[in-house]
Chain A
Amino acid sequence: MVQNHHGTVGENKGKRPKFFINDHVDILIEILKRLDCRSLCVAASVCRLWCTIARNDSLWENLCFRHVSPPPSSVRSVVLALGGYKRLYMGCVRPVRSRLGRVRRASWARDEVQLSLSLFCVDYYERLGGGSNSNGRLVGESSPSSLMFLCKPMNV
């Protein structure tokens, strides 16, 4: 919990120094790593330090692979090349997980991530092209839309 600087200084007479979490970034990271998506987004609006930490991709990597046995290290390079974990989570893993929530089985966690990765890759491919061809598309839109069936507007 963030404490008021002035409060700390004012009460620092003969009592133990109050604990100020922002002084211990490693602990802060450990805590934030374990949050769920919504809490993490809320935490990002607390202060600038928290915002910077929350934007760190490794936290989102944790979110993506939390329930999955550790994936091979090559996944990281692929995901980073395709746009990063936060984008992967917000664009694919989260909608996939929420849609599949009703048929949840423990063994599906890995498959969910793999399917999300494939969809993410298609999405990256579309973003590469900036549309179907360099002359622009018939309807004039150039944003990738293969993920639209997941129906979550991306706000990365």
Chain B
Amino acid sequence: MVLYDSATLAGSSSGSSSSSSSKPPPLQPEQRQDIDGHLAGAGYKVRSSELRKVAQRLERLETAMVNSPADLSQLASDTIHYNPSDLASWVDSLLSEFPLTPTCPAEFVTDPVTNQTVVNDAWTTTETNMLLVPQNVSYEQQNLNNQLTVVTAMEEDSGIRLVHMLMTCAECVQCGDFSLATSFLEDMQGLLTRVNTVCGIGKVAGHFIDALSRRIFQGIGGGSINGGSAYENEILYHHFYEACPYLKFAHFTANQAILEAFDGHDCVHVVDFNLMHGLQWPALIQALALRPGGPPLLRLTGIGPPSPDGRDSLREVGLRLAELARSVNVRFAFRGVAASRLEDVKPWMLQVNPKESVAVNSIMQLHRLLGSDPNRNAPIETVLNWIRSLNPKIMTVVEQEANHNQPGFLYRFTEALHYYSTMFDSLEACTVQPNKALAEIYIQREITNVVSCEGSARVERHEPLAKWRIRLTGAGFRPLHLGSNAYKQASMLLTLFSAEGYSVEENDGYLTLGWHSRPLIAASAWQAVSDAPSEFPVPDTHRLS
């Protein structure tokens, strides 16, 4: 089990700071070493086995420093500290400088959780020193300080404990020990009541607890969550589009790449793997309308799930897009292809004209084609083959930058916990309701699918861009650089979202959008490598920067 060691230290030593700043850093599923890896990176040598003790000492030290009436400058000037990188003895030497030994805040925490295997033993075996009141500070004020420290420490503590328990529960699930996992679930539900579930770790933990209980009690078939109607999905998608910039970034970046690829072509055809409301295409239509040389003839083929109640939602979207195209004088033709799964689509359904330039657009769809069965031919290969046979001028691929397709459940769970915590953090910047609430439900469905489903029910098989590059180059595609216009546009779009935290990065021709240096979504462009001997002019691979 991974220890949240450095986070415990960080959280403990800043007990009076706001809880939002003490978010636990991303876990790394690294092996247990004697010297803690995180702190070693910061220059401190602490043994992993001693971390809890050191944490407790640091807390005591902080309380002492806060409550001490004496001038602390003597700590800096008079005392000599040997070997400060050895954190354990350094803290001990500092503590010995203080004449009083105030009570450790942990004493106030009555441990409600009965399951002893997870709880930090150090919390329950504190020395019960009586609080010696310094002369200058009144007892009530001292008590209040301690209580304030206790409240925030307790909440952070609960949050960290919740994560610990989530990891342990996931491990039990992986081992098949469902009875133990169930008892963990109950404990976690209890712990949830003590944590702020409106924001932060409590909210994310709540969703993961839900997903785990689905897995344990309803099995891995997915149940009702996957059967959400297409109509519901569209609504949630729309709110997700509005609440945070990920989809806008995806659309604008893909549009820019498609626009540049269509430069000079008069007959163009775009294939959209997931039409939804067609929100991506107005901007492209407008950009084509205004391009120097006039707009081309634009054909759009939109793929989407069939609508159950007789409404032809694809056609309705097509009509709206056609009306917009007519207003701006772009010759436009629309075709809808209804398919419940992307692998059911056959190339002849798209009716591609050999004379036109084709662009294939996939926003978070390709990962659904990855199967977990290594023996069978995954649908992705079939689909990539027929895409290649269309010889598209460009294929834009936007995918979640996450590793959620590993066979091992615990690893997947950990990765998902990081990824979605970061995503929920970024969602905090959005204040517009009901967008935010519905966007969260959208994300929650993804979480549930990643955690509680297996086999064909699990469609959210995210893979990082590095893996997609290998897969796509192996299937006969070659990367196209996205260029500086796309990057500039993405940066501007980001600035509009007046939330300090989003970051756009450009790496080797692809763009990623992330929250605070953790990339969450990656956009890239591809072109099919032609098999025929090049009697055709070699297309340029570099966009001017």
Contact = CB atoms under 8 A, between A and B. Distances in A.
A139 B289 CA distance: 34
Contacts of B329: 77-78, 81
A117 B311 contact: no
Contacts of B328: 77-78, 81-82
Contacts of B405: none
B110 interface: no
Contacts of A103: 495
A89 B429 CA distance: 26
Contacts of B277: 129, 132
A105 B241 CA distance: 29
Interface stretch (B82-90, B316-324, B338-346, B463-471): B316-324
A99 B434 contact: no
A80 to B, nearest CB: 9
Interface residues of A, number: 40
B316 A133 contact: yes
A137 interface: yes
Contacts of A11: none
Contacts of B144: none
A125 B432 CA distance: 21
A117 to B, nearest CB: 6
A128 to B, nearest CB: 5
A133 B321 CA distance: 13
Contact of B285 (A96, A121, A128, A129): A121
B290 A72 contact: yes
Interface string A21-63: 0000000000000000000000000000000000000000000
Interface stretch (B28-36, B263-271, B486-494): B486-494
B492 A111 contact: yes
A74 B282 contact: no
B496 A145 contact: no
Interface in B270-291: 277-279, 282-283, 285-287, 289-290
B277 to A, nearest CB: 6
Nearest to A119: B283
A145 B231 CA distance: 18
Given A72-B292, A118-B283, A133-B313, A149 B495 contact: no
Contact of B283 (A122, A135, A138, A145): A122
A29 to B, nearest CB: 27
Given A103-B495, A111-B492, A132-B277, 10 more contacts: A74-B289, A74-B294, A78-B290, A99-B495, A100-B492, A108-B488, A114-B287, A137-B235, A138-B232, A145-B432
18 contacts: A74-B294, A77-B328, A78-B286, A99-B495, A99-B496, A100-B492, A103-B495, A108-B492, A112-B492, A117-B290, A121-B282, A122-B282, A125-B321, A125-B324, A126-B279, A132-B235, A146-B241, A151-B432
